Chains A and B, each alone.
Chain A
Amino acid sequence: MKKIMLAAASCALIAVAGVAWAAAGPTDPQIAHIAHTAGVIDIKAGKLALKKSHNKEVLAFAQEMVRDHEAVDKQALALVAKLKVTPQDNATSQSLMKGADAEYAKLEKLSGKAFDREYAANEVAYHKTVNGALETVLIPSAHNAELKSLLETGLKLFQSHQEHAEHLAHELH
């Protein structure tokens, strides 16, 4: 009986990047903050790759990440301004940022092939995490139709990035 109750309790929680949310999930201002944070993290990693890598494929991929994530972020910021929504910091954003800071510090110490491989492997893992969050929590929890639509476009984009990153990681091994 205790096991059943525990299982029921866990079903009432949904997790994003290791952070559990109540069944209602994050609010729109929190979702906007998570989406913005996720974009900023990948732009920063892409810019580091552009500075450190000498591999043509890695550089092309990093350029794509910076360009696409900046485009989504610009669109997202324009939307929140239009909706008069202030993105609200939250535990998921903080958890994503903490993980990203650790990864950034690790990448900064690497060079050459070791850097390229770690960057590509992290891009695969990172996009998997963000895509999982978008699919299972962020999109279903979004209330505003325009925000939901932008997140859906974002999911298609990030799925494409994940496939590209997987191809890159494979090529580097």
Chain B
Amino acid sequence: MSFTNLRGLAAVVAVIGSGALAACSAPSHPAPKTYVVTMTNMDFSPKTLTANVGDTVQWVNKDIFRHSATAKDGSFDVDIDVGQSGSYKLTKPGNLQVVCKYHPTMTQQILVNP
């Protein structure tokens, strides 16, 4: 191995090392969570939810009707048949208004923190 190659290897090791150090010293971000929302008796349960970007919401349809979890801002539209579940990973902060597109009286609010 030439001297130049050795210098290059050292640089790579240094970069990796500093990256690992930075990762260790960065403020700890909570591990992503999955929130389970039940669809039953023509309603979402819970009706309101507070989560973080990176978390996942999983809707479980325990009703006898087909439902959907549809964001009013168009960011997602998850169709969920009877006895099935569907999920969506929250990608941006905001206050999401969710509705079942088949049953507009079914609504949910998800507050997504950065």
Contacts and interface: CB of A to CB of B under 8 A. Distances in A.
Contacts of B30: none
Interface stretch (B11-19, B46-54, B88-96, B97-105): B97-105
Contact of A71 (B41, B64, B103, B105): B64
Indicate the size class of the contact surface on chain A.
Answer: 10 to 19
Contacts of B43: 156
A64 B79 CA distance: 13
A30 to B, nearest CB: 23
Interface in A76-109: none
Contacts of B103: 157, 160-161, 164
Give the interface SS of chain B, mostly helix, strand, loop or mixed.
loop
A163 interface: yes
Contacts of A167: 104
Give the interface SS of chain A, mostly helix, strand, loop or mixed.
helix
Interface in B32-72: 41-43, 64-66
A67 interface: yes
A156 B100 CA distance: 13
B82 interface: yes
Nearest to A162: B105
B112 interface: no
Given A67-B65, A71-B65, A72-B64, A160 B41 contact: no
B78 interface: no
Contact of A160 (B64, B66, B82, B105): B105
